[in-house]
Structure 1
Amino acid sequence: MYKKLFVFALLSLSLAALTGETPNAYRLLVLGDLHYTSRSYHPQDHPKKQKSINKYINMWKSDSPELLAAAKRQALREKVDGVLQLGDLIDGGCSTMSLQEKMLHDAFLELKKYFPKLPIYTVIGNHDVRLRNGDSIEPVRRVLFPMQAAELGKKMLGNGNYTFRRGPDLFVALDYFSPEEKSLDFLRQALAEHSKTRYVFLLTHYPLFPAAYHNPLCLVPYYMKIAALLEKRRGIVLTAHTHVFSRVTRTTAGGRVSQMCFTSMGVDWHNNHLLRKLFGNPLTEECNWESYLKIARKGMADSKHAAILLEDLYGLEISGKFTGEFFVRKSGFAILEVTDRAVQVKLFVDDSGIPAKILNL
């Protein structure tokens, strides 16, 4: 009996080697902010923000559909198993609840149009709850939670906190627009219930660590506590919000946490074929971690809350050893490839099918 099992296992490994497949390996498509919108959701002009609204309306006439079409083609080439969308699915800002609900509904269906056979996993972003006259979770609760529940094979979600498994790995989506302590408790409980994992991926809209020099401390609540939980479990944070690509890693005596920030804003999608042919389309580094700290300190010094902000930044800085790369403002999508050996991210900033950058997390 044991001899037969050994032979079967050996044959399985040999077949995987011949086909180039690795056991427990998979790929996922990753999208950052999308800010879906159109004129139909804004029948009346906004007295102060119409210029910004029009920018994103125009973005969705050509650039964003082109970006998603390129992402779809790459997803088919790479045979991905699912799609991660890391918040700000919509631009929001609607004048009524019903318009905001329709925007959310249509945005999710638009995403399914490009990826009809793949499960889609979303997290809640600040624009998803932003209406013209204030924030509200109700449109998300009424529309997005049921649609996300269906993707997970569940009847309903009470909030945006949920988990799913891919092979030996755990994915945890956190909703920071529910009371923060509930999200932190949810993470603790999820880690306790799934004690045996290879990697733990945290899906969040707001970053855990600084992800852009122009937005230095817009971080999730309780980020120090969350980092302490993740570093014991080979934690990797997948985030968005800043509209730039960046990678930051913190190492302490307790372990390491890597964070990758993604953006899929059509306004920063540079896909000019002629310019690309003449000059290429690289994704260059704008600053590293040390440069980020200098820029962040300078910006905070001019704030009326300078003392508090600088103290928070210093506390973060001394909490571990940081490395980081912050890239120029270009948008696109990514393929996350997970194996026993590594977690790799391929960043695409045009429709060439050639990654502009390949990073290990």
Structure 2
Amino acid sequence: MLRRSSLRIALASLAFAAALPAHAGFWSSLIDTTPAGLARSSDDRPGDWASFWSDTRAGAEKIMSDGNSVWILPTYTNHPRWDWPQRSEENGWPMGMGLARGIIDEKGNERMLYLITFVDSNYRPEPMAGYTWVARWPLGNSGFHVGAGYLAGLTMRGDYMWAPVPLPLPLAKVGTDTVSFYGTWIPVTNVFFFFSTITLDDAKGRKMPLSPESPWVKTPNLLYGSWGWQYTDNGEKYSPSRVASDTVWNAGLRRYSGRSWQTDLKYSRSSHEVTRADGPGKNDLRIESYTLTLAYNMDWAKTFRLFAGAGFGYSKGETRYASDWSLHPALTLGFTWAAAENFFITGSMDTNFARFKGVLEDRGDGYTVRSMPTSFTIGAGLAF
């Protein structure tokens, strides 16, 4: 992913520098799109460079205070064939989760502060945080709109030694005020990244305390079990092994606390057939995981919530040949419906970054399975 990156960065920098004098108001227009511009417009004052950082802080605080909550689902990573002849070796499914706070300014433009973590092209966790600005144009009276703008922020990647990397990227979207689909192009690597969002109109409601009769207060504990399908991808450069996706079941204990938080302790178990890509050889890999996650809840209705969060996990991979254990990050995203006073229905997508070394027969002790197990489950439980 680093090939030709220096040349591309240089060309992009030259193009950007050449565009600066295109019109005299470039910097003023650019600042208007930042959080500082939001603060200045709301205060009806022009501002200057001396106050830029204080205005940026004020604008960010306004977005966090007055904006609506946004639930983010990383959706797809496209490695175009014209630049990625080995695209089958890269991960195209960025399983993960994200949260944001978004606001529509007086001009109808969208501004958003976001935090997102997903599985990158090399099957490692990639956190990203920053700000987006999008100008929107309605599509007649359909309720849909299209938009274009930019994404700015920082990310950290394993192939960059986990050093913070700045992200000035173009951004396009299509959707409604509630559901939207976004796409960006990463010029350094020639990769297209897509994500989806659900925006909840909760700017006022989340500032109000929960009623004592709220199910999240009255019955703050949930003992549940669920069942579903676990997606796996070995994630190796030359994919010498195929790890089959299969069913998974889990059991967990959840505790609701404060206005919007939940803590989950969860156990899951699954079994997968592993075959060689280049000939005979088969293993049955059993994965057991224990995870502890903290998630933020957004109220869609009084009895229905969306949540997204992260934590840590312990996983054990075992075959008849050997076993290995792994400590790893864990991501969770899902919903909970308080269907009755003591009966909740919950569903989630849970991603673990487990690594198992030396567990496959005839692969060698140095061979590591990076299965990236992601579970899609639905279940029910007793609330008390």
Q: Above 0.5 in TM-score?
A: no
The structure with the greater share of residues assigned to strand is: 2
- When Rg is computed on C-alpha atoms for both structures, the one with the higher figure is 2
**Bigger relative contact order (CA 8 A; separation at least 6):** 1
The structure with the greater share of residues assigned to helix is: 1
TM-score by length of 2: 0.25
